A = this chain, B = another copy of it.
Amino acid sequence: MEPFSGRIGIVGAGALGAFYGARLARAGHDVHFLMRRDYDAVRTNGLTVKSIEGDFHLRPPVYRTAEEMGPCDLTIVGLKTTDNAALPSLLRPVTAGGGLVLTLQNGLGNEEAIAAALGGGADAEERVLGGTAFLCSNRIAPGVVNHMDQGWVRLAEFRGPARERTHAIAAMFTSAGIQCEVRESVASIRWHKLVWNVPFNGLGVAAGRANTADILADDELAPLVRDLMGEVVAAAESDAVRIEPSFIDLMIEVTPKMGGYRTSMQIDYEEGRPLEVESILGEPVRRARKAGVPVPRMQMLYALVRRLDALRRGAKP
Contacts and interface: CB of A to CB of B under 8 A. Distances in A.
A303 interface: yes
Interface in A265-310: 296-297, 299-304, 306-308
A-side interface mostly: helix
15 contacts: A203-B304, A206-B206, A206-B304, A207-B303, A207-B307, A207-B308, A218-B317, A219-B317, A220-B299, A220-B303, A221-B307, A224-B299, A227-B296, A296-B297, A304-B304
Given A311-B208, A311-B209, A300 B303 contact: no
A301 B207 CA distance: 10
Contacts of A219: 317
Given A206-B206, A296-B297, A297-B297, A218 B303 contact: yes
A306 B208 contact: no
B302 A220 contact: yes
Contacts of A182: none
B208 A308 contact: yes
B209 A300 contact: no
A207 B311 CA distance: 9
Given A296-B227, A296-B297, A303 B208 contact: no
A210 interface: yes
Contacts of A306: 220
A317 B222 CA distance: 12
Contacts of A304: 203, 206-207, 221, 304
Interface string A68-103: 000000000000000000000000000000000000
A311 B203 CA distance: 14
Contacts of A207: 303-304, 307-308
Contacts of A299: 220, 224
Nearest to A312: B208
A201 to B, nearest CB: 15
